[in-house]
Amino acid sequence: MEKELPDIIVKDGSLEDERYTKIARDIAGFALNKLNLSFGNVEFRLVDNDTMAEQMALYSDPLPTWYTGQEYVMSRRSLLGVHSSLYEMVGHTQYKALNDKVYTVVYLNKNDEEHEIRGVIAHVYGHLHANANNFICKQYSQDLGQHAAYRRRYRALEELVGRKEVERVFDLGQTLSSLVDLYPDFRVKKEDKYYSKDEKLPDKDEYDVFGFLMKTTPMREWERETLEMVRDIYAPIREVRVHIMHEGFATFVQEKYALEAAKTDPVMSMKMEKLIYDIATPLSEGQLPYAMGFRLFKDIENRWNKGKHGIEFELLPEEEKKNFDSHENKGLEKILEVMKFGTDWDFLFSFADETFINSYVKEAVEEAEGYMRREMAGEYTPDQIEGILPSQLEMYRESMDPDELRFELLHQTESYMPTLYIPRGGANYKDGVLIKEDLSVLERYVTETDREKRKEELEEIKSGFAPFLTLNNETTYKAVNRISKWINKPVYLKTIDEDGSDITIFSNGEDVDFEYDDDDDSH
């Protein structure tokens, strides 16, 4: 039995665009019934570049601040210029949308051609499914009505206490907005006995540093209100952990629709396919979420359709593996399961195996060769090109070493932001507050089983990762200084330097400095 369609409408200005509404409903029917997606009501709005730029800015920061103005100027210049296009902009999703008469608003570029709009609508349904089903995205829905209320309140506060004053607190909020618990599932959990029964503040390690400082720092009511607004609007920052999956899945849905369209309109289908591969190119670092996510979902679909997974399959001889097909046909089911429970790290760690990464790199090198040939054509003779190309391709190939690529991707997805916490009792550390960088994520790289050897190996790993994990830089200094000034107490930040030695960065709100630690005395 076919699923009931949610309410879907495409508007151009205040009027419904009946043709595109029908197209959007047809694509929704395909996505819901053939791909088994689920999402709520959608209002597509066909808008010009100017409105698109404005919505991009408000998505980054829904308050009417200088930062929103900056985002608006950047995106407007970018979209009105000659080098950039943006196909869609999904507004913040509201999860009540699944069972309530609330619409997720999606902006489509009215300058696009029909094949682009069709593909983009399918792409958007992929995003909406991910938003409504993935365990991280589900937690951080945003209420657009609330955003509008925040804007009004922000302006009222500007009237009340002055624009620069409110801006000062907003700036502080941006500095604090990254002090949230991004990786609760990654850090090593401490046992109960770790905590003694003495009264301490905080009484256990506190990873929501922003929240804790808000609770314990005296401030005026309007300052608290402004910081609470900032804290709320930046909550979806956590969705960065599913960025590759999000874009990959949306592109996967887009291609499924393009293939479906080939049955009735092959030329339209070809154009949609071309658009997909232009966007999901492995040549551009910025497009990696599309390129890798899309290909990895396709790979999963293929493997689970053919039953090419599990121990029995792995034990087969290599030759048999190539042509193995048990007709399991569980590709789509597997993909929806991965989308529901996964993060980018799980996605890459579990599925981007050696075979996949090698094939991804091979495709990237082939594309690079085509690109270089096109760029050099006309500038060089064919003989010169054949002379130059091999060494350039070799350099590119070296920069795409499969082992390094996989390692880097895993490292990136487990460290978008530092994991920071105030240790138990850290609110009364010396004469100020202690913040520590949690490096327990590194324990997953330890292979030794013996306790002493594990410790030694961990130290080696720590010093290997130190250049990437150290916080010893100018912008951190400024941030620590700001926080200290705000709470009116010294702040001590324990981290490592780029060689892996323990250091403490400290500030009294005026000056900032660092020193090497003699020992780790945080507890």
Binders of other proteins in range 168-207 (CB under 8 A): 171, 174-175, 178-179
Give the shortest CB-124-to-other proteins separation in angstroms. Answer: 21
Cβ distance to other proteins smaller for residue 341 or 468: 468
The three-state secondary structure class of 177 is coil
Residues numbered 451-470 forming contacts with other proteins, rule: CB under 8 A: 467-470
Residues numbered 18-47 forming contacts with other proteins, rule: CB under 8 A: none
Q: Work out which of 68, 104, 134, 305 binds other proteins, going by CB under 8 A.
A: 68
Give the shortest CB-9-to-other proteins separation in angstroms. Answer: 21
As given in the structure block, the two tokens for residue 127 are 């995003």
Please tell me whether residue 217 binds other proteins under the rule CB under 8 A: no
Site string for other proteins, 418-437 (x = CB under 8 A): x-x--------------x--
* Residues ≥6 apart with Cβ < 8 Å to 32: 2, 3, 5, 38, 39
Residues numbered 383-402 forming contacts with other proteins, rule: CB under 8 A: 384, 387-388, 391-392
Contact 8, 24 (CB under 8 A): yes
Instruction: Choose the stretch contacting other proteins; rule: CB under 8 A; options: 38-46, 134-142, 322-330, 416-424.
Output: 416-424
HSE-CB of 177 using CA atoms within 13 angstroms: 20
Give the shortest CB-171-to-other proteins separation in angstroms. Answer: 5
Please tell me whether residue 365 binds other proteins under the rule CB under 8 A: no
Helix, strand, coil tally for the chain in percent (to 5): 60, 10, 30
Q: Which helix (H) or strand (E) holds 515?
A: strand 512-516
Please tell me whether residue 93 binds other proteins under the rule CB under 8 A: no
As given in the structure block, the two tokens for residue 158 are 């500007």
Cα gap 349→185, rounded to integer Å: 15
As given in the structure block, the two tokens for residue 486 are 């705000």
As given in the structure block, the two tokens for residue 345 are 């790290």
Please tell me whether residue 131 binds other proteins under the rule CB under 8 A: no
Please tell me whether residue 77 binds other proteins under the rule CB under 8 A: yes
Give the shortest CB-439-to-other proteins separation in angstroms. Answer: 12
Q: What residue has token string 């369209």?
A: 261
Cβ distance to other proteins smaller for residue 7 or 369: 369
Q: Which of 67, 71, 70 is nearest to 57 (CA)?
A: 71
Give the shortest CB-2-to-other proteins separation in angstroms. Answer: 25
Q: Which of 333, 258, 254, 243 is nearest to 293 (CA)?
A: 243
Order of strands across the sheet that contains 491-496 = 420-421, 433-437, 491-496, 502-507, 512-516
Site string for other proteins, 270-299 (x = CB under 8 A): xx--x-------------------------
Q: Work out which of 60, 476, 501, 504 binds other proteins, going by CB under 8 A.
A: 476
Cα gap 73→86, rounded to integer Å: 15
